[in-house]
Chain A
């Protein structure tokens, strides 16, 4: 009853609780928050198990790998699912409060959270309860491919197949949708993080140098490519030389990065091929005509669309603003839910 009253003073939120970034979309306001899903915790001296939060989001991300003994910067989500329940709850609480800044009332919004389609009931329940613990009045879960397709602007409600490939930080979601429902979905635990790891291990193998996650991510952003391109780009990287134990600088070029990324990329390509094999032929022909859509941060990896085009022989396009597709799609789904009820989408539980 009281929650409902507080709900009047809260916004409806669509949250893309991603492994790498958490995005919050507020109806009518657009994306209002886009921060890394990182929490820095101060080790409590009280010993009662309470873990005071030192920082959340961008601030905490800068602490990753650079923390003193009494602070730990952790990413509470791993492979698209919650690894640390209480920290996730704290993080969500922080973000929800941040979105509702300058409000007199304790916020109690209606929340729609996207979950990987491969997540188990236990994982979904964990996400639901985290959100409820963070003060949400009503929690809906939507599967990520659905949200991504809606956000990208694909005609998901039509009787025509739409294929979306959402490459996130922890997982890659493949979804084939028709008539507001998921015909086929597959979630593989390859994402941006795996790209970073692949780069780190490549550098260690070939340069005997250890680089951190942040550096690997920077390499990926700047010269990462999924397909050989004409111009060769280079980047200067610093890391700790394993033999000497001293930080050294060296050059890395885009072809090396391409080589490093072969393994995770082939995982994605084979999952896409598998999906295309398994769907009904009519939907397959729809997709072959229009093409598949790439969303998520992974879509920004250079020439990934070209790689998929060459490998599958299908048109591949990158959505507008691929990073925010899921959150925007969730926001749109919330609007539709408000107008037409929950039955419109195959939402998971209420």
Chain B
């Protein structure tokens, strides 16, 4: 920090500031040298700009003369004031061509406002007799950057923000106002373009649980499965209730409980016992040994034949739903036992052959077939009613009830 005062602008600078009058000749030389260096001549450039602006307006002869070096500068935007200046300059230009010895000062301003920003800097630098290397040293920049700026070749320079900064520093060094330069630069390169911010290395996107489509799919799956579960839950009920409501309709056809699915119910009924038979068959140890048919109707909670229930009110809770058993009630070789409670049961027929043994569940009904009389023995006698020959009687009403044994029916006399 102690050497802060070491930086002093070159002493020539002050001297150079006074050049306009003294160095008229050298200035003229500069103007001629430019084309030799390979860069565009100042005069020609002025004319170019003018031609672009005036094209639609007045086709000045001076302009036409000078449009030999056509450069496409369509993107060079001009504002009104600029156009005004240019038209004035054009006349100056005309004078210039007519009288090459026009005042130096005027020429200076004329050139600067119409030049590209880099050219302006180059021109002014040469005015002040700095070399590009000197400028690069003072700004701590590489020489190629200074050359790029002066050639208005911004393709190979750092992004816009840096170039604008270089312009600022350069202009400060040359002690010229920077705003016109920056405006010219903006006009030349278009709007201030900001570099892209997204990463150059594009990562392959992984689908995550937070992705919206994943969420949507999951949600749909959940909804569908819930709907299916709900249907599954409801559908058997419908099926059951259908069966239950259809049966009486079927049985009491005359009462005209017109159900739409009536014609199909017999099929459903005939299937239902056989379907469920396998699932709900109580253990039938003895059933396989004899040829007698032991048919079990495990119709849960469904009592038989509502038409008969009037005799046994209170025994069955849901008397309106009945099952018409295939065995005819009047057949003396068949009887049906209705259970209100679970009870072990063994039934033997006339020949002491076991026709049923098992533990029917509460509410179940079993159908027993064999040669009467049946001798039955129960674990619990309460809540059992016997339907035999079309009559349903509570077990406790039997006269011949002996403890937990009872004989039902009489031998058939042929």
Size bracket, chain B contacts = 20 to 34
**Is residue B160 contacting chain A, with contact meaning CB distance below 8 A?**
yes
Give the complex CA separation of A179 and B200 in angstroms: 8
**Is residue A31 contacting chain B, with contact meaning CB distance below 8 A?**
no
**Is residue B67 contacting chain A, with contact meaning CB distance below 8 A?**
no
Contact B192 A153 (CB under 8 A): yes
**Is residue A293 contacting chain B, with contact meaning CB distance below 8 A?**
yes
Chain A residues with Cβ below 8 Å from B234 are none
The binding surface of chain B is classed by DSSP as loop
Chain A residues with Cβ below 8 Å from B164 are 317, 320
Chain A residues with Cβ below 8 Å from B197 are 150, 156-157, 180, 332-333, 336, 344
**Is residue A133 contacting chain B, with contact meaning CB distance below 8 A?**
no
Chain B 145-169 interface residues, beta-carbon cutoff 8 Å to A: 158-162, 164-166, 168-169
Contact B162 A317 (CB under 8 A): yes
Contact B166 A317 (CB under 8 A): yes
**Is residue A125 contacting chain B, with contact meaning CB distance below 8 A?**
no
**Is residue A211 contacting chain B, with contact meaning CB distance below 8 A?**
no
Give the complex CA separation of A153 and B192 in angstroms: 9
**Is residue A314 contacting chain B, with contact meaning CB distance below 8 A?**
yes
Chain B residues with Cβ below 8 Å from A230 are 8-9
Give the complex CA separation of A288 and B142 in angstroms: 9
- Give the number of residues in A that approach B within 8 Å (Cβ atoms): 43
Chain A residues with Cβ below 8 Å from B142 are 289
Contact digits for A308-330, partner B, Cβ 8 Å, 1 yes 0 no: 01110111111110000000000
Give the complex CA separation of A307 and B1 in angstroms: 9
**Is residue A32 contacting chain B, with contact meaning CB distance below 8 A?**
no
**Nearest CB of chain A from residue B129's CB, rounded to whole Å:** 19
Residue of A nearest to B138 (CB): A309
**Nearest CB of chain A from residue B133's CB, rounded to whole Å:** 15
Contact A291 B162 (CB under 8 A): yes
Give the complex CA separation of A309 and B135 in angstroms: 13
**Nearest CB of chain A from residue B7's CB, rounded to whole Å:** 6
**Nearest CB of chain B from residue A263's CB, rounded to whole Å:** 9
**Is residue A4 contacting chain B, with contact meaning CB distance below 8 A?**
no
Q: A307-B4, A313-B140 are in contact. Are A340 and B159 (CB under 8 A)?
A: no
Chain A residues with Cβ below 8 Å from B4 are 227-228, 258, 307, 310
Q: A228-B4, A290-B158, A317-B166 are in contact. Are A309 and B140 (CB under 8 A)?
A: yes
**Is residue A154 contacting chain B, with contact meaning CB distance below 8 A?**
yes
Residue of B nearest to A305 (CB): B169
**Is residue A269 contacting chain B, with contact meaning CB distance below 8 A?**
yes
**Is residue A120 contacting chain B, with contact meaning CB distance below 8 A?**
no
**Nearest CB of chain B from residue A171's CB, rounded to whole Å:** 21
Chain A 70-94 interface residues, beta-carbon cutoff 8 Å to B: none
Contact B195 A317 (CB under 8 A): no
Contact B169 A265 (CB under 8 A): no
**Is residue A222 contacting chain B, with contact meaning CB distance below 8 A?**
no
Known: A153-B160, A320-B161. 4 other contacts (CB 8 A): A258-B4, A314-B140, A315-B141, A317-B165
Q: List 5 A-B contacts (CB under 8 A).
A: A153-B195, A154-B159, A155-B158, A158-B195, A293-B161
